[in-house]
Amino acid sequence: MQIISSKDNEQIKYIKKLKDKKFRDQTNEYLVEGMKLVKEALEEEQTIKMIVICEDCENDKTMDQSLLYEIAKYNCIYVTKKLFDSITDVVNPQGVLAVVEKGDQIDKIDYTEEFILALDGIQDPGNLGTILRTADSANLKQIILSNDCADPYSPKVVRSTMGAIFRMNIITTNDLAKTLQMIKKHKFTLVATSLETNKSVYDIKYRKKVVVIGNEAKGVSKQILELADEKVKIPMLGKTESLNASVAAGIVIYEYVKEKIYH
């Protein structure tokens, strides 16, 4: 078994370049790190191009042996701990990462879904990853992102999704307003979250709705608000005027879940 120790190795340089969005877009690949996420990638039958294993981590028996058995079926490279530490983004790495293909990147919206979530300028990777994870928990199969959202395939977002990214059709649009107008033509009602309304998230039904969650600081853009059929806000009983974007998205998503279960 050959163990790579040089940072000048071509495969290592390739992996490091995948930390850059432009290179991820060019190659249609991204990085998945940690035992849980790599295991989920295997279980969800993702196209895995390469798996990197830290030699020291394997030798000290900290890794799940059944996972190592599965990993061995793929194109694996082994590296020294020092080299692995130079390519990881994690403070306490588990010694395994994978290069995964993004998939078909199907931009076609599924209009048979009852509820569609759209994100307008979500900037924080942790927020985006948490929203994807929450959407997956509600069995939503697609999500629409404006092109100024954080990159859903950045390492921090991927970690925050806890595997949800493998099950979600992520549709990034260059013109969110145009995409929402197209969705409205398929008999969806456009709902935007806004502080400038008296209507609550508890006052509406969520079947055949496309709901827009806005930027952490600015909220939903003016252009999208003007397109909205309905505007809703989350009632506040305390002095706080607005919630974290991922929390707001979670509340709206679970209003849909409640309606689906109890009505």
Are 154 and 224 members of one domain? yes
* Domain span including residue 252: 115-262
* Total domains, the chain: 2
Are 176 and 81 members of one domain? no
- Please name every residue paired with 211 in a beta bridge, in sequence order, or none if there are none: 117, 191
Asked whether 234 and 250 are in contact (CB, 8 A), the reply is: no
Percent of the chain whose pLDDT exceeds 90: 76
Are 157 and 238 members of one domain? yes
- Does some domain include residue 65? yes
Q: What is the CATH number of the domain that holds 40?
A: 3.30.1330.30
pLDDT of residue 97: 95
Stated as kind and residue range, the H or E segment containing 78 is strand 76-79
pLDDT of residue 153: 96
* Alpha carbons within 13 A on the beta-carbon side of 27: 19
- Does some domain include residue 199? yes
> Which of the listed residues 77, 101, 125 is the one where a domain comes to its end?
101
Closest C-alpha to 211, from 80, 132, 120: 120
pLDDT of residue 236: 84
pLDDT tens by residue, 203-225: 999 999 999 999 988 999 999 99
Please list the ranges in the chain whose pLDDT falls under 70. Answer: 1, 57-64, 104-106
Rounded to whole angstroms, the Cα distance separating 146 from 154 reads: 16
Distance from the first to the final alpha carbon of the chain:
59
Q: How far is CA 49 from CA 27, 86, 103, 207, in A?
A: 11, 20, 12, 39
Q: What are phi and psi of 247, to 5 degrees?
A: -70, -45
pLDDT of residue 257: 96
